[in-house]
Amino acid sequence: MAEKTKKEDKPVADKITVGHVHMSGCTGCLVSLADNYGGLLTILDRYADLVYGLTLADVRHIPKMDVALVEGSVCIQDKLAVEEIKQTREKAAVVVAVGGCACYGNITRFGRGGQPNQPQHESYLPIGDLIKVDVYIPGCAPTPQLIRNVCVMAYLLLKGTKEQKDLATAFLTPLMQLADRGTTACGCDLIYDVINQGLCMGCGSCTASCPVRAITMEYGKPNVNREMCIKCGACYAQCPRSFFNVDVVNQYEGIMEAIDGALK
């Protein structure tokens, strides 16, 4: 007896389209996205179609998409790279700079050319210096959890009810403000924009967030070893005195439950 053919059940009606654009990055940001494990599969099942991503899929050219997750900075001596970041802006409704390199240049800030076989490849800029960027996800590596939260919120923003759109807007606002703030980052941000501004209260978040242990707390205040700092921007983004959007953070319990629920 012929087995009854089972049709695959795909509740895909209202997915958003997402692409991963790889500039001068290390793919660690994409690995961070993948490190959501089952959560990523759920996102791809229910909320998003991955329409582009050279590491994972055989789509050669940048297509139209709702959200572009861009990692890496742009080598301005590499014509193709410059072309691609411009195309990304044209093709994507929302451009997200994922990770320290796309947001702030990060380790590529130290690039200065002189290495074979392209010794002239010496100038790297964060993507925000070439195109308008909508949302920042800082960190080197960025955390799987923040990438996940932004993906869920981007879905709610584009496909949700009025209430969900409002929540998503409120959630994403500080990450949009970080994108507006600029394209440079350093442990010095803690000096300029927190301590010098009379805002540091010595909690230690910056120390915890630094990926290279460049920040120690000396008598309750951050001390930045600037020779160790790789300019990723995590410390300032993590500092509760960089942005502290009370309206959103006060709802932490509900929001975390909602995100967990969406990925169950």
Partner 1 sequence: MGTELGVYKTCVSARSTSKEILKKAQDGGIVTQLFAYALDEGIIDGAIVAGPGPEPWRPMPMVALTSEELMASRGTRYNLSPNVALIKEVTRSYGLDKVGIVGTPCQMQAVRKGQLYPAGLRDVPDKIALAIGIFCMENFPYQSIKQLVEDHAGMALPAVKKMEIGKGKFWVYGERGQVVTLPLKVTHKYEQPGCHVCLDYVANLADVSTGSVGSPDGWSTVFVRSKKGDDIWSKAMAAGCFETKPIEQVKPGLELVSKLANEKISKNQKTVESRATFGVNKALRNPYVSPK
Give contact residues for partner 1 (rule: CB under 8 A): 32, 137-139, 141-146, 149, 171, 174-175, 177-178, 180-181, 193, 197-205, 207-211, 217, 219-221, 232-238, 240-246, 248-250, 252-253, 255-256
Shortest distance, position 238 Cβ to partner 1, whole Å: 5
For 224, residues 6+ apart whose C-beta sits below 8 A from its C-beta are: 187, 188, 190, 191, 214, 215
Q: For helices 144-159 and 252-262, what crossing angle results, to 10°?
A: 80
Q: How far apart are CA 230 and CA 216, in angstroms?
A: 15
Give CA separation, 196 vs 66, 146, 179, in Å: 39, 28, 22
| C-beta closer to partner 1: residue 72 or 174 | 174
| C-beta closer to partner 1: residue 113 or 240 | 240
Say how many Å lie between the first and final Cα of the chain, rounded. 37
| C-beta closer to partner 1: residue 75 or 150 | 150
Task: Say if residues 168 and 157 touch (Cβ distance below 8 Å).
Answer: yes
| C-beta closer to partner 1: residue 114 or 240 | 240
| C-beta closer to partner 1: residue 81 or 154 | 154
Report which of 79, 12, 75, 25 is spatially closest to residue 54, judged by C-alpha positions: 25
Shortest distance, position 103 Cβ to partner 1, whole Å: 10
Shortest distance, position 82 Cβ to partner 1, whole Å: 28
Shortest distance, position 161 Cβ to partner 1, whole Å: 21
| C-beta closer to partner 1: residue 130 or 141 | 141
Shortest distance, position 200 Cβ to partner 1, whole Å: 5
| Cα-based torsion angle of the residue sequence 166, 167, 171, 173 in order, rounded to the nearest 10 degrees | 10
Shortest distance, position 4 Cβ to partner 1, whole Å: 41
Strand extents, DSSP E, 99-253: 124-125, 135-137, 215-218, 221-224
Retrieve residue 226's tokens: 């600037």
Task: Say if residues 80 and 54 touch (Cβ distance below 8 Å).
Answer: no
| C-beta closer to partner 1: residue 94 or 175 | 175
Q: How far apart are CA 51 and CA 220, in angstroms?
A: 47
Q: How far apart are CA 119 and CA 101, in angstroms?
A: 20
Shortest distance, position 183 Cβ to partner 1, whole Å: 13
